[in-house]
A = this chain, B = another copy of it.
Amino acid sequence: MSESMQGLKRSHYCGELTAVDNGRVVTLMGWVNTRRDHGGLIFVDLRDRTGLIQVVFSPEINSASFTKAGGVRSEYVLAVTGRVSIRPEGTDNPNLATGEIEVLVDELRVLSQAKTPPFYIEDGVEVDENLRLRYRYLDLRRPEMQHALHLRHRAAKAVRDFLDEHGFWEIDTPMLTRSTPEGARDFLVPSRLNAGRFYALPQSPQLFKQLLMVSGVDRYFQIVRCFRDEDLRADRQPEFTQIDMELSFVDVEDVLELMEKMVSRLCREMVGLEVETPLPRFTYQEAMDRFGSDKPDTRFGMELVDITDIARGCGFKVFTSAAEEGGQVRGINAAGCGGYSRKDIDDLTKFAAIYRARGLAYFIVTAEGAKSPITKFFNDQEIAAILERFNAREGDLLLFVADQPDVVAASLGALRVHLAEQLDIIPRDKFNFLWVTDFPLLEYDEEEKRWVAMHHPFTSPLEEDLPLLQTDPGKVRARAYDIVLNGIEIGGGSIRIHRRDVQELMFNAIGLTKEEAHEKFFYMLEAFEYGTPPHGGIAFGFDRLIMLLAGKKTIRDVIPFPKTQSATDLMTMAPGNVDERQLRELHIKSTLKKLPDQNNNKNK
């Protein structure tokens, strides 16, 4: 049976005792990590969130406690009182922070017993993730998970300290908001008091933070939960956390400078990393041209090389027609891959095809020059020029795509990263931050047959591009910026439109009628008429940032209680069934013929 802790008070955490405490009487409380019986004594490694310490039970110190200790098992919760003692010579454990000492236990209380856990409470366990999520409260006991929770706490604290020092006020915006179907799918919340109407959980506080600028708040931030009811491909969660901020009377440069300071400080304080600032900046065009990506990973080279000019005159139809039809011919140098087999190259071709590349031409660079089925279409000068442009050496493999610019960029950009991973040439210890700026304001949506906002419809165009908004929308550049770390977008933002007339032009450009725009955003358009400061902001994906700082591969490892790809919480089995009465009160009913099986509603 469990004993009470009444009358006891913990004096120290397990991990904070050292040899300096030798002789001190301490009371510790924690979990049994391991128990060993040896030489007539019982040794327990007691664990709390600070670490482990060895506590020793001896029949000579307290025989009742010794007897009781004989019954303890892994994960029992104990309170022990005893004297800190330097370990006998030769028995210290250099792998343990407290390895020089042990606690000779007088009083023992068993505060809670424990069944055998379904997996070992230790780092690096190979356990099915669903089992870990089902018993998340045990999974979180593992030191690496505790470390991730602590890092998450410290990072949030550091961000708050930084922003507070820089004049930002944290202001909480509503979770029960209005659905504005533009962008991802909303989670809806039926209203009981307003029959037939629904709240939406926010995809971001975008409109509220802009309204706070209209309010004169000047500098706002929030570490805030956001929601998207999207299919959870890749590493997405239905609820996720953003560091969200907005500033008045600023231009792009002000935001970038300040964020560089914040990121540097975060890296220094969290992982002891010095980030060199200013961060490299690439325009969208440059990033696409050089890396085939708007989130380039610059930890390795293998940049895209343009040979459209050379290809234009060659005899290879695929190249020439691409060049003639407004397309490009570009390639990358897979250095050292000259030995790739026909099958290897076929695999790369298939990979590039995912990104709509219709083919992948190649040169194998040998001592005798380029070998390839297509060399016959080039004269010697052309081949020499190509090899030179790629800085090609014997043993290299050049890979080419000829197509429209978007296909060339997407396929070569992906191929570049794919090859780098395959070749294992990405240095793991680099943290390459960079900015991408001057994104296109709009992109054409082939399905919807209209222009859509590349970021969101509140993004300001560059002032000099404003006249193009009505004449050549695809050419308009945005005052938008993304921050990228090691090829992953960790944040993005823009200077916003702050004039009603420009905002209306923008809505018009994305095909909203005046009425539709007003129906959706009336409060925004109205607010802009009462004196609106120029403003801009940015939002960071907090989960992703923590994932990268913690060196984890999925955001599920840094979110305390994440959901699965089917948006369920395996521990509580949310979402669950609800009573008919609850739905009746909300003026809704299920359209399903048969409600889900109640038995699926709980774990067994």
Least CB distance, A329 to chain B, in whole angstroms: 39
> CA A227 – CA B77 in complex, angstroms?
34
Least CB distance, A266 to chain B, in whole angstroms: 16
Q: Do A197 and B577 form a contact, CB below 8 Å, given A160-B160, A572-B523, A582-B188?
A: yes
Within 8 A of B (CB), among A115-167: 115, 117, 135-138, 140-141, 146, 149-150, 152-153, 156-157, 160, 164
> Is A239 part of the contact surface with B, judged by Cβ < 8 Å?
yes
> CA A174 – CA B199 in complex, angstroms?
18
Query: What chain B residues lie within 8 Å of A560 (beta carbons)?
Result: 171-173, 208, 212
Contact between A531 and B76, CB atoms less than 8 A apart: yes
> Is A366 part of the contact surface with B, judged by Cβ < 8 Å?
no
Contact between A194 and B568, CB atoms less than 8 A apart: yes
> Is A358 part of the contact surface with B, judged by Cβ < 8 Å?
no
Task: Find A172's partner among B197, B225, B238 (CB 8 Å cutoff).
Answer: B225
Within 8 A of B (CB), among A445-465: 463
> Is A340 part of the contact surface with B, judged by Cβ < 8 Å?
no
Within 8 A of B (CB), among A5-34: 5-6, 9-10, 29-32
Within 8 A of B (CB), among A567-583: 567-569, 571-579, 582-583
> CA A496 – CA B249 in complex, angstroms?
50
> CA A583 – CA B239 in complex, angstroms?
20
Against B, the Cβ 8 Å flags (1 = close, 0 = not) of A373-408 are: 000000000000000000000000000000000000
Least CB distance, A110 to chain B, in whole angstroms: 10
Question: Which of A187, A249, A571 has the most chain B CB within a 10 Å cutoff?
Answer: A249
Q: Which of A58-66, A87-95, A303-311, A591-599 contacts B (4 or more CB under 8 A)?
A: A591-599
Task: Find A6's partner among B172, B194, B251 (CB 8 Å cutoff).
Answer: B251
Contact between A533 and B111, CB atoms less than 8 A apart: yes
Contact between A189 and B189, CB atoms less than 8 A apart: yes
> Is A350 part of the contact surface with B, judged by Cβ < 8 Å?
no
Task: Find A195's partner among B4, B172, B249, B592 (CB 8 Å cutoff).
Answer: B592
Q: Do A590 and B251 form a contact, CB below 8 Å, given A201-B175, A571-B523?
A: no
Q: Do A188 and B578 form a contact, CB below 8 Å, given A153-B169, A169-B149, A530-B137?
A: yes
> CA A9 – CA B253 in complex, angstroms?
11
> Is A432 part of the contact surface with B, judged by Cβ < 8 Å?
no
> Is A47 part of the contact surface with B, judged by Cβ < 8 Å?
yes
> Is A538 part of the contact surface with B, judged by Cβ < 8 Å?
no
Contact between A112 and B532, CB atoms less than 8 A apart: yes
Query: What chain B residues lie within 8 Å of A563 (beta carbons)?
Result: 174, 176
Q: Which of A177-185, A315-323, A409-417, A481-489 contacts B (4 or more CB under 8 A)?
A: A177-185
Contact between B531 and A114, CB atoms less than 8 A apart: yes
> Is A534 part of the contact surface with B, judged by Cβ < 8 Å?
yes
Task: Find A590's partner among B115, B117, B186, B588 (CB 8 Å cutoff).
Answer: B588
Tell me the nearest residue of chain B to A218, going by C-beta. Answer: B49
Against B, the Cβ 8 Å flags (1 = close, 0 = not) of A435-453 are: 0000000000000000000
> Is A527 part of the contact surface with B, judged by Cβ < 8 Å?
yes
Least CB distance, A225 to chain B, in whole angstroms: 5
Task: Find A576's partner among B4, B173, B179, B573 (CB 8 Å cutoff).
Answer: B179
> Is A196 part of the contact surface with B, judged by Cβ < 8 Å?
yes
> CA A216 – CA B117 in complex, angstroms?
14
Contact between A178 and B596, CB atoms less than 8 A apart: no
Q: Do A173 and B530 form a contact, CB below 8 Å, given A140-B216, A196-B577, A197-B577?
A: no
Task: Find A582's partner among B156, B179, B573 (CB 8 Å cutoff).
Answer: B179
Contact between A574 and B215, CB atoms less than 8 A apart: no
> CA A115 – CA B463 in complex, angstroms?
24
Contact between B215 and A140, CB atoms less than 8 A apart: yes
Contact between A227 and B574, CB atoms less than 8 A apart: no
Task: Find A518's partner among B29, B211, B602 (CB 8 Å cutoff).
Answer: B602
Contact between A193 and B566, CB atoms less than 8 A apart: yes
Contact between A196 and B137, CB atoms less than 8 A apart: no
Against B, the Cβ 8 Å flags (1 = close, 0 = not) of A540-580 are: 00000000000000000000110100111101111111110
Q: Do A239 and B29 form a contact, CB below 8 Å, given A185-B192, A591-B584?
A: no
Query: What chain B residues lie within 8 Å of A138 (beta carbons)?
Result: 214-215, 530
Contact between A579 and B195, CB atoms less than 8 A apart: no
Q: Do A170 and B156 form a contact, CB below 8 Å, given A149-B217, A575-B198, A585-B185?
A: yes
> Is A107 part of the contact surface with B, judged by Cβ < 8 Å?
no
Least CB distance, A55 to chain B, in whole angstroms: 16
Name 27 interchain pairs, CB-CB below 8 A, sorted by A.
Answer: A2-B498, A4-B463, A29-B249, A49-B218, A112-B531, A136-B211, A137-B214, A137-B530, A150-B169, A153-B170, A156-B170, A157-B170, A174-B239, A175-B239, A178-B569, A178-B574, A179-B578, A185-B582, A193-B231, A196-B577, A196-B590, A197-B577, A519-B601, A523-B573, A526-B603, A587-B591, A589-B589
Closest 4 CB pairs of A and B: A114-B531, A178-B574, A140-B215, A197-B575
Residues of A within 8 A of B (CB): 2, 4-6, 9-10, 29-32, 47-49, 75-77, 79, 111-115, 117, 135-138, 140-141, 146, 149-150, 152-153, 156-157, 160, 164, 169-179, 181, 185-201, 207-208, 211-212, 214-218, 225, 227, 229, 231-232, 238-239, 241, 248-249, 251, 254, 463, 498-499, 518-519, 522-523, 526-534, 560-561, 563, 566-569, 571-579, 582-592, 595-596, 601-603
